[in-house]
Structure 1
Amino acid sequence: MPFGLSALSLVIGSLLMPMTSYADEEDATASKAEASKPKSSDAEMLERIEVTATRRATTLQETPLAISALSGNMLKRNGITSVEEFTKMVPGMRIEDSGPGSKRISLRGVTAPGEGTVGVYYDEIPISGTVGVSSDAGGRTPTAALFDVNRVEVVRGPQGTLYGASSMGGAIRTIFNKPIDGYEGAFETGYADIAHGGAVKSVDGMVNVPLIDGLLAARVVGFRKTNDGYIDNVFLGIDDVNSSTKEGGRVMLRLTPSDDLTIDTMYLLDKTEAGSGTWNPTIGEYETAAQINQPFTDTTKLYSGTLDWNLDFATLTAAVGYFKRATEYNMDDSYYIDTYLTEDRCQSRWNDGAACSSEQLSNYFDYVNSLTPAVLQHKGYMTNKTYEMRLTSNDAKVFDWTVGAFYQKRNDYVQSQDGAADEATGKLIRPMELFYRRYIIDDYEQKAVFGETTYHATDKLDVTVGLRWFDYQKTVTGETTDAWELINAFEKPKTSVEFSENDWLFKGNVAYNMTEDMMFYATAAQGFRPGGANNVIGLEEMLTGYESDSLWNYEVGMKSSWLDRDLQFNAATYLIDWENMQVRGRTTDGAFSFLSNAGAAQIMGLELEGGWRITENLFVSGNVNMLNAELTEDQISDVVLAAGRDGDRIPYIPKVTGMLSATYNLPEIISGFESSLRADVNYVGSSYTELSPDNAYNLKLDSYSLTNLRFNLDSTESGWGFALYVNNLFDKNAIVYNSGSSSYPNEFANSAMPRTIGVTVRKDFF
């Protein structure tokens, strides 16, 4: 069905193509008319937005890739302050949100545990998640606060040649506003009320000052957001346990020694303190029975420098980044420990395989009960150093080209330990009274060289070829320093496992511009993720290593504008062949999870997106993604639970997602102020939590739709702006992540925010 619908859309576009043919004079007239039309923030998608996803400046509609771009003004006017909030604006984009610090971003259904499947960039610097005890860096992706942002670019489909490993599904680039040679400022504050909970309060500010006229400028950004929460702990009798605080900022300097040379530096700080956002559907809506508080802390720092030097024939770009992250996850381990309160466990863990007497059983139960409430704590520290240098041609007539080199060195340390908590308050006892402790060191080093060239065969036909050679080495070291024999966590000496690989990645693209407003393109591109080694207690030697996985993406797309560029319609259909897919396995006793490979998978999909300025005051936009993502081979194993079979769906990926919005510019309410009303509906289809439908832990995530309303009042002359909004208008309990467990309370869910009613006040100073 996806290919049939896509083919139909392309055929319709071809039949209607003569309607969009313009002579040069008509083009000039249309451009002038375009400039004079009223523009709401949503209508900016019809403009020629500049993007740099191809490592050179192009416009959104002229780039032969499936790419979405959200300008800073669109983010501000739509109240989007985080990656989670703009997901609905991008077809096929999903976030598996399992709590603070645990977010897995995917595009086009390419999602799996292990290294990330979507490249995340702050300006020119790639950002990595922390690996944790389960080698799952992709599930712990950090996200930036989106205040004072120039734009966000989301490129769908593998970007292996330009962006390297872990961009199998695509890449997300957050481009921050840079210092300018002048005075500028902005201030924004907001307050909102959460149904079933407390309040959300936020304050953001920016100041830009020239330090040396024409030579050096600085830009300082600060933000703070508090959320009182809405989840109640019925075991401890505490309301709103998922409260959070996120604060930080950026300090940026721009040095311009000449018109041809620009040097940017940035220091970014982002700190988060939060309670667990997980609740238990078996207990009650937005209720948890956790026996302990589950605090999470995350401190992220980024130091970066970027040089852009125009050498006439080409531009030299050099970027260096030093990314640091410290995290502490605390999870309730009490109910898992309670599963050891059985006669069988007494026999096997307490009495050397012999049946326990009544007295032995009583002593054993007393011992196990003395361990609860208990906390499982993971403390992680990561540094990630990256260096990239590339040369991009300027104003080439026949060939455009980019060549470059990349180096990365990541060091990740995680300390995993179990300890006691206070029974009355659920607070952690510090210093920790340990039951066991182990640590894991994950070192990852990568180097690569890459290049892309575009041949302008004719005025209408462009052919692009890209290559990337990579070489990486991964070393995983682990040691159990404090044994806990109850759960088979025996003392383990320091051991290391190495994994290395080198190979080539390829990309080919053909683009044909039928007119100024109609382009067709076809792409074949590779994506890749590194393999590695598990360091899991009790894991059999044969399961220690897991291999890299890779995919091919075959895509045909169309970009078009109609009706004097008042209507924009883009479509892409794709087929993804995924080999040696990495998946989450579990030891046969159900105690520990680890990474394994699951054969092959295939994803077939269709993306549609567009916008239509129906009248001068009414603009509608929308997107839809339809896909089928499933295994194409059996995963058969006697030592791994939940083996997948041919035809099983990839977890957490719905077959249909979509968004529809409408913005109406209202008549003037207050002199000098423009006002608008926006409504959007976001639909997410159903999905499942495990590969195998027969898995005892497999749960269904029901489909849901969320409706938002927003009223904006802005003055471009005074810089004042006001917004009144209602998110999740009908207060739907939309579960975005759920996992099953053998221990009580058996289900652990995370939801979208309940109905939230808020107001925002902002002021721009120029």
Structure 2
Amino acid sequence: MMASSALAQTPVALRHARAARSTTRPATHPGTRPATQAVPGVHTGSGTPDHTVDAAPGEAITVSATRRRTTTHDVANSVTVLTGKKLEQLGAQSYEDYIKLIPGATFTPTVPGISTITFRGISTTAGLDQGQGTTGYFLNDIPLTEPGFAIDIPNIDTFDVARVEALRGPQSTLFGSATLGGAIDYIPNQADASKWDAAAQSTIDGMPGHEVGYGEKGMINIPLIKGKLAIRGVLDYRQDPGYITNLGVGRNTNTTYTRNARASVVFTPVDGTKIAYTYLGQSVQVSDDPYSEPQALGDYTKQRGITERVYTQTQMHELRLDQELPFATLSAMGAFLRKGQSSYWDDTPFFGQVVPGLNSPTYAPQDGDSKSMYYEVRLASHQHSNFTWLLGAAFYETWKRISAPVLTPGIEPALAGIYGPGLASQLVSQGDDWENPDVAKYDGTEKSIFGEMSYRFLHDFTVTGGARVFNMSQNSSSELGGYGAYLDYGTLYHRGASTVSQTSALPKFSIKYEPNRQVMAYFLLSEGYRFGAPNTNPINPKYPTPAGTKSDSLINYETGARFNLFHNHLVLEPTLYWIDWSDMQTRLSRPDGITYGANVGSSTSRGFEFTGTWFTPLPGLSLNVNATYDDAHTNHTITEAFGTVIAKGSQLASSPKWQFSEILSYQSDTLPLHPLFSVVHHYQGSAPGLLGNSFRIGDYNTVDVRATGTFKTRIGTSSVSLYVNNLNNSHGVTMGYINGAPTLDQIYLLPPRLIGMTMNWHL
């Protein structure tokens, strides 16, 4: 029996790599099933003031955790803010470069454009989930994580960014669904009507024995009406060098091309009124899926008859009004978001001989797109009294479609020899497509009202209570025709459909103690949720499966503190958390190899996060240390009706018990060129790539070094940086899929040592 096309519902966990990348059916052939398988500029911690080169302690830093402009000192939550200046100093361009600086966060790079982040071990797969993910991704407070499965996960280039905010722990009260573990909010710089501004960046780098890459980026800010109207534009292009040798085509193949365009228009007609338009357009083109087949061919080597290209793109238009009222600030925003994915894979090793005697390649193209509309309005009281409040409402709607045919040249004549020419012509479309149509559609909406109130009493204490009431509904359908439908259902065409809806509420509570600006401590209770998803798997009376999953949720208990000691030269930020995850969604497998979504009971994640920053007595020398301990495991034995068991106490996916990162930096204001030196070390511990699977990822160290010199010219400030990333040339495993034979295993490795130079200029 052939696996169903159940595009949105096919699991990641028990199939080859294409499943995780494309959210399509399991790749199988008849009779065969896949085998189971802060330093300056870094604001971190428990919502307290921060040391920066580019921001003084206590300066107002917008923190999205509160949906209002405030300092991190005033947030009773675990928040890390990386400023644009610090990201530039570290040469950070994408998630790979800066997520390792955030306590409790794990990034598992696979295919650029669809790789995922996990917070505090809240995940059942380190790959792309078939349902809604557990981490929220935002741009300017607009969610990029739409209801349902993900078409792509934008990894936005950090050139001309104001800051990147990482919010650890569930954020659903103010941010909505899919923030079970945490959220990432990317805040670009806005147009500035007070002055002309411009910047440029040029990079060249390469890996010994591999390709050379480069990047060109530019920004210009134009005040059209002084103090009233301005426009800002950003263009950038990156060509990241390939390092995978595809023996089937005889060359390095996985060059990645990233194109990014952003625009900001800000109009302030009168004091207290701001109208802003933001545009983002980014595309990522991967010339060849960058997995290795190390067991069969060696590291950084694969063998496919074609280059398995992957193309993703994201476009967003946002219009926002911020209006100061006598008693509050009104914020109203609307956004249109469009995402797309196009890919092409050589699935010959997985399908083998689709028809006995037919030894032809099998290709699996896929095209998907989504359109989403998001609206939000909120009122936030001014912060001039002991009592503050925020009230808001949001509406999110998305429409998605994925098409994924399977092509085997010569299959129709081969089938004609078995079924006769009449039936064979109905089983195959256009000569070689034997799963047509193979389409999944999804419509989902999320409607909610939310709010928070805070009261400060006895001068040192602040108590906050909040809630979100939401309604979600979704419609999902899949269509399968041709030979695939005939094998699965005994018919030439099959359609499955499902509708799910739910209404619920989530509470939030915190209390903060702040006797002075040197000490702050808090306790937080918060909840998170995400949508369930219907199953549209092929019918098999021997293996009945549930209709789908219902929403899962978790409750987070957290306590943290921050200590600013020795006149802010030593900053310590410890955090303890305990998370109970109920009705956990995961993917399970039937004996016939078909996988399905199910709610499987509860799990617990408990851990400790620590950030320490020491500004040493030697001027310009600082040390930042981040450490995370996380024990994330199942609370019950998970037993399927068909016998598969995931043992009680199994470690959750992408949940290393230990992670460390240290940044040692030195900057001199007296030496020529004002040199800046930095060394970044990161250790990521071992964890399963998939829940209940023996395959492990992590357990590697990386070291990055960088030296920068700065000089002034008549037209601005320039700098030159020399750097080496992955100095120790670690071949650490970041993700993979084990399919029962070395020639089918697909393993993602850290890119090898990268040497480069970057030149920056700022007006």
Contact kept in structure 2, 1:81 and 1:145, CA below 8 Å:
yes
Q: Flag the structure with higher helix content.
A: 1
- What does residue 637 of structure 2 align with? 634
Taking a change above 3 Å as real, the CA distance of residues 100 and 329 of structure 1, as seen in their structure-2 partners, is: farther
- What does residue 417 of structure 1 align with? 405
Taking a change above 3 Å as real, the CA distance of residues 130 and 397 of structure 1, as seen in their structure-2 partners, is: closer
Looking at structure 2, the residues matched to 546 and 188 of structure 1 have their Cα atoms a distance apart, in angstroms, of: 47
1:244-323 equivalence runs, <5 A? 244-274=256-286, 275-282=288-295, 283-323=297-337
- What does residue 358 of structure 1 align with? none
1:619 lines up with 2:617 in the alignment: no
- What does residue 82 of structure 1 align with? 94
Contact kept in structure 2, 1:45 and 1:611, CA below 8 Å:
no
Looking at structure 2, the residues matched to 129 and 232 of structure 1 have their Cα atoms a distance apart, in angstroms, of: 35
Contact kept in structure 1, 2:656 and 2:698, CA below 8 Å:
no
Looking at structure 2, the residues matched to 760 and 312 of structure 1 have their Cα atoms a distance apart, in angstroms, of: 48
Tell me the CA shift for residue 458 of structure 1: 2.5
> Amino acid of the residue matched to residue 433 of structure 2?
L
CA distances 1:166-202 after superposition (whole Å, capped 9, x unpaired):
1111111111100011210000000001134211200
CA distances 1:46-91 after superposition (whole Å, capped 9, x unpaired):
6646122211222223322111000010011110111221111100
Among 736, 739, 756, the alignment partner of 1:738 is 736
Taking a change above 3 Å as real, the CA distance of residues 331 and 650 of structure 1, as seen in their structure-2 partners, is: same
Looking at structure 2, the residues matched to 681 and 339 of structure 1 have their Cα atoms a distance apart, in angstroms, of: 48
Sequence identity (%):
25
CA distances 1:708-761 after superposition (whole Å, capped 9, x unpaired):
000011246731011100000011111111211135523211122210000000
Taking a change above 3 Å as real, the CA distance of residues 582 and 92 of structure 1, as seen in their structure-2 partners, is: same
Looking at structure 2, the residues matched to 408 and 129 of structure 1 have their Cα atoms a distance apart, in angstroms, of: 8
Tell me the CA shift for residue 119 of structure 1: 1.6
1:502 lines up with 2:503 in the alignment: yes
CA distances 1:468-527 after superposition (whole Å, capped 9, x unpaired):
000010111111133336863754433320001010001000000032110010011111
Tell me the CA shift for residue 109 of structure 1: 0.8
- What does residue 392 of structure 2 align with? 404
Tell me the CA shift for residue 657 of structure 1: 0.6
Contact kept in structure 1, 2:545 and 2:596, CA below 8 Å:
no
1:564 match: secondary structure: coil
CA distances 1:287-322 after superposition (whole Å, capped 9, x unpaired):
112233211111211111111001021000011111
Contact kept in structure 1, 2:488 and 2:538, CA below 8 Å:
yes
Looking at structure 2, the residues matched to 76 and 690 of structure 1 have their Cα atoms a distance apart, in angstroms, of: 34
Taking a change above 3 Å as real, the CA distance of residues 432 and 380 of structure 1, as seen in their structure-2 partners, is: farther
1:170-209 equivalence runs, <5 A? 170-181=182-193, 182-209=195-222
Among 130, 141, 151, the alignment partner of 2:163 is 151
2:99 match: secondary structure: helix
1:88 match: secondary structure: helix
1:604 match: secondary structure: strand
1:119 lines up with 2:136 in the alignment: yes
Looking at structure 2, the residues matched to 210 and 72 of structure 1 have their Cα atoms a distance apart, in angstroms, of: 22
> Amino acid of the residue matched to residue 138 of structure 2?
Y
Give the TM-score normalised by the residue count of structure 1.
Answer: 0.85
1:395 match: secondary structure: coil
Looking at structure 2, the residues matched to 441 and 212 of structure 1 have their Cα atoms a distance apart, in angstroms, of: 46
Looking at structure 2, the residues matched to 190 and 472 of structure 1 have their Cα atoms a distance apart, in angstroms, of: 45
Taking a change above 3 Å as real, the CA distance of residues 596 and 96 of structure 1, as seen in their structure-2 partners, is: farther
- What does residue 683 of structure 2 align with? 683
Taking a change above 3 Å as real, the CA distance of residues 681 and 599 of structure 1, as seen in their structure-2 partners, is: same
Taking a change above 3 Å as real, the CA distance of residues 737 and 435 of structure 1, as seen in their structure-2 partners, is: same
Looking at structure 2, the residues matched to 482 and 295 of structure 1 have their Cα atoms a distance apart, in angstroms, of: 26
1:649 lines up with 2:645 in the alignment: no
- What does residue 463 of structure 2 align with? 463
Looking at structure 2, the residues matched to 375 and 211 of structure 1 have their Cα atoms a distance apart, in angstroms, of: 52
| RMSD of Structure 2 on Structure 1 (CA) | 2.3
1:192-591 equivalence runs, <5 A? 192-234=205-247, 236-274=248-286, 275-282=288-295, 283-338=297-352, 365-367=356-358, 369-370=359-360, 373-420=361-408, 433-437=432-436, 438-484=438-484, 488=488, 491-538=492-539, 542-590=545-593
> Amino acid of the residue matched to residue 155 of structure 2?
T
Looking at structure 2, the residues matched to 192 and 48 of structure 1 have their Cα atoms a distance apart, in angstroms, of: 36
Taking a change above 3 Å as real, the CA distance of residues 409 and 485 of structure 1, as seen in their structure-2 partners, is: closer
Contact kept in structure 2, 1:388 and 1:404, CA below 8 Å:
yes
Taking a change above 3 Å as real, the CA distance of residues 616 and 742 of structure 1, as seen in their structure-2 partners, is: same
Looking at structure 2, the residues matched to 669 and 749 of structure 1 have their Cα atoms a distance apart, in angstroms, of: 46
Structure 2: stretches of 5+ with no match in the other structure: 1-48, 411-428
Tell me the CA shift for residue 669 of structure 1: 4.9
Taking a change above 3 Å as real, the CA distance of residues 49 and 706 of structure 1, as seen in their structure-2 partners, is: farther
> Amino acid of the residue matched to residue 219 of structure 1?
R
Contact kept in structure 1, 2:341 and 2:368, CA below 8 Å:
yes
RCO higher in structure (CA 8 A, sep ≥6)? 2
CA distances 1:138-192 after superposition (whole Å, capped 9, x unpaired):
x842221111000111111111110111111111111110001121000000000
Looking at structure 2, the residues matched to 396 and 49 of structure 1 have their Cα atoms a distance apart, in angstroms, of: 15
Contact kept in structure 1, 2:145 and 2:178, CA below 8 Å:
no
Looking at structure 1, the residues matched to 652 and 551 of structure 2 have their Cα atoms a distance apart, in angstroms, of: 18
> Amino acid of the residue matched to residue 727 of structure 2?
L
1:712-751 equivalence runs, <5 A? 712-715=708-711, 718-742=716-740, 745-751=743-749
- What does residue 418 of structure 2 align with? none
Aligned length: 682
> Amino acid of the residue matched to residue 298 of structure 2?
G
Taking a change above 3 Å as real, the CA distance of residues 152 and 583 of structure 1, as seen in their structure-2 partners, is: same
Looking at structure 1, the residues matched to 669 and 271 of structure 2 have their Cα atoms a distance apart, in angstroms, of: 44
Structure 1: stretches of 5+ with no match in the other structure: 1-30, 341-363, 423-429
Tell me the CA shift for residue 559 of structure 1: 1.2
Tell me the CA shift for residue 638 of structure 1: 2.6
Taking a change above 3 Å as real, the CA distance of residues 632 and 454 of structure 1, as seen in their structure-2 partners, is: same
Task: Identify which range, 208-217 or 294-303, moves more after superposition.
Answer: 208-217
Taking a change above 3 Å as real, the CA distance of residues 379 and 170 of structure 1, as seen in their structure-2 partners, is: same
Tell me the CA shift for residue 237 of structure 1: 3.9
Looking at structure 2, the residues matched to 191 and 386 of structure 1 have their Cα atoms a distance apart, in angstroms, of: 39
Looking at structure 2, the residues matched to 729 and 47 of structure 1 have their Cα atoms a distance apart, in angstroms, of: 36
Give the TM-score normalised by the residue count of structure 2.
Answer: 0.86
Looking at structure 2, the residues matched to 328 and 521 of structure 1 have their Cα atoms a distance apart, in angstroms, of: 46
Contact kept in structure 1, 2:202 and 2:216, CA below 8 Å:
yes
Looking at structure 2, the residues matched to 644 and 339 of structure 1 have their Cα atoms a distance apart, in angstroms, of: 33
Tell me the CA shift for residue 325 of structure 1: 0.9
Taking a change above 3 Å as real, the CA distance of residues 716 and 571 of structure 1, as seen in their structure-2 partners, is: farther
Contact kept in structure 2, 1:335 and 1:744, CA below 8 Å:
no
Taking a change above 3 Å as real, the CA distance of residues 487 and 639 of structure 1, as seen in their structure-2 partners, is: farther
- What does residue 763 of structure 1 align with? 761
Contact kept in structure 2, 1:585 and 1:640, CA below 8 Å:
no
Taking a change above 3 Å as real, the CA distance of residues 586 and 45 of structure 1, as seen in their structure-2 partners, is: farther
CA distances 1:237-278 after superposition (whole Å, capped 9, x unpaired):
422111111102112111111110001102211112112111
Tell me the CA shift for residue 652 of structure 1: 2.3
1:702-713 equivalence runs, <5 A? 702-713=698-709
Tell me the CA shift for residue 534 of structure 1: 2.0
